[in-house]
Amino acid sequence: MRKKIIFALILINFFITNSCQVNEVIKPNVVWLVIEDQSQYFFPFYGDKTLELPNISQLLDNGILYEGMNSPYPVCAPARSAIITGMYPNAIGTGNQRAYNYYRTERHENEKLLEFPYYSSRIAEQIKPFTQILRENGYYTSNNSKKDYNFKLTKEAWDESSNDASWEKKEGDEPFFSVFNFGVTHESQIWLRDKQELKVNPKNLKVPPFFPNDSITRHSMAVNYSNILEADNQIGYIIQRLKDQNLYDNSYIFFYSDHGGPFPRHKRSIYETGSKVPLIIKFPKRINTKNKSNFDLLNFIDFAPTILSIAGIDIPKVYQGKAFLGPKKNKSKRKYLFTASDRFDEITDKIRAVKSKKYKYIRNYNINIPHAIDNKYRAQMNLMKHLLYLNDNNLLTREQNLWFQTPKSFEEFYNLENDPFELINLINDTKYLDEINNLRNQLDNWIDQINDPINIPEKELVKLLTDNITNQE
């Protein structure tokens, strides 16, 4: 009798998560809707009332809004490597943007500047992409369509990865995992769509204090808001396809962005504007989402174990992320989040950061490089050109000039509750000494735990990460 009771309790625990009461199928369908280059600050469900986004917002009808989701790197390829491997990029050698450029067709100018070619990190065999594990357990996986992970992904990761990839390509009745990327909100679209008709009035926008409140800034912001509206329409099309095929009610749907916004001091920035991202998860209809908001500190490395958990699949012990949903949900909540930045295309600026819910500590290893790195790709944006002009002519306010400051402080410390835009550096305020020392120690411990090669130049690092540094196809 005692054995029967124990067995019954195990079964009950298997089908319950802390966030909702679950009568869970073993292998549910999962869809990811990934909007590129957007922070939380542009969305109505996080407090910005500029837009109404009916298609994205409907996910909240049976979903949860996550307030504490963060990207471990403020740029796409390293962030994507974290998502698919469940590992910190600086733990597996994928932290340098465009280390391996999948899309390269010829030797790039950046390679010449760096004095070594693009390379693919040699990922340990036990670090399988979670999509490969899904396939090994009966899932059909499709990716539409970004393929840039900063390392060469094996063909076993996807059933199909292309601009046409979809769950609709599968031939059997197996469960599916499908990703859709929406590039209309990418950084490049700020200048490529600059002349298109705006869908919001620039005069009605709220400009953050680190930007000049002028017509050029407002126009760029209006372009971004217009792009988000277009993405909402595109997302609506995917949602409707799911509904038409009677798949919507019984699928998990994740809506998120790969890192912060498309603007200067967003993308490539160690600040919250670069790392804090939107996340909505719509649950299957059978799951009752009682709590509509979640404030846990979450990281992209948590995605891989979470998807495996809700699919009822064992999570590799090597994964550094922790499941936050499903029967294998981690019982403890994260107290700290870690963020890093290394090379962005042709410029290297090593930064590491740690934050709690209230405070953030940043360590800048290259103090002679301003946060406003002179990235050639971003220089195509009118807003960036405008900021550079104003800075050169001493026309920026103190708050706006901080991003250009050289040398920058070796250490930064911010009270995120009082200073959400991280404009007041409190590193020398003795009132916060205990908090500063705690976060210093947390960062040092993390660097040691993951064997962060922060002091190894990339040219030397590639010899440790790869079999060779020849051009790889």
**42/221 Cα distance (integer angstroms):** 10
* CA distances from residue 343 to 11, 18, 57, 299, 350 in whole angstroms, order as listed: 47, 39, 35, 21, 7
3-state secondary structure of 256: strand
**98/101 Cα distance (integer angstroms):** 5
* Burial of residue 113 (number of CB atoms within 10 Å: 0-12, 13-18, 19+): exposed
**29/19 Cα distance (integer angstroms):** 19
Cα-based angle 214, 219, 222 (whole degrees, multiple of 5): 125
Among this protein's residues, is 20 annotated catalytic? Answer: no
Q: Which of 35, 65, 76, 310 is catalytic?
A: 76
Bridge partner list, 30: 177, 252
Q: Is 451 left (phi over 0), alpha (psi -120 to 50) or beta?
A: left
Q: Is the dihedral angle over the CA atoms 221, 226, 229, 233 positive or is it negative? A: negative
Q: Buried b vs exposed e over 5-26: b needs ≥16 C-beta within 10 Å?
A: eeeeeeeeeeeebebbebebee
* CA distances from residue 321 to 94, 106, 112, 342 in whole angstroms, order as listed: 16, 35, 36, 21
Tell me the angle at which helices 303-310 and 76-85 cross, rounded to the nearest 10 degrees.
Answer: 40
Task: Give the Cβ contact number of residue 350 at 10 Å.
Answer: 19
* CA distances from residue 205 to 149, 217, 422 in whole angstroms, order as listed: 35, 10, 21
Radius of gyration of the chain (CA): 22
Q: Buried b vs exposed e over 55-74: b needs ≥16 C-beta within 10 Å?
A: bbbbbbebbbbbbbbbbbbb
Cα-based angle 236, 239, 241 (whole degrees, multiple of 5): 110
Q: Which of 102, 101, 94, 91 is nearest to 78 (CA)?
A: 94
- Show the DSSP H helices in 180-311 as ranges: 189-192, 215-244, 272-275, 303-310
Bridge partner list, 132: none
Residues acting as catalytic residues: 76
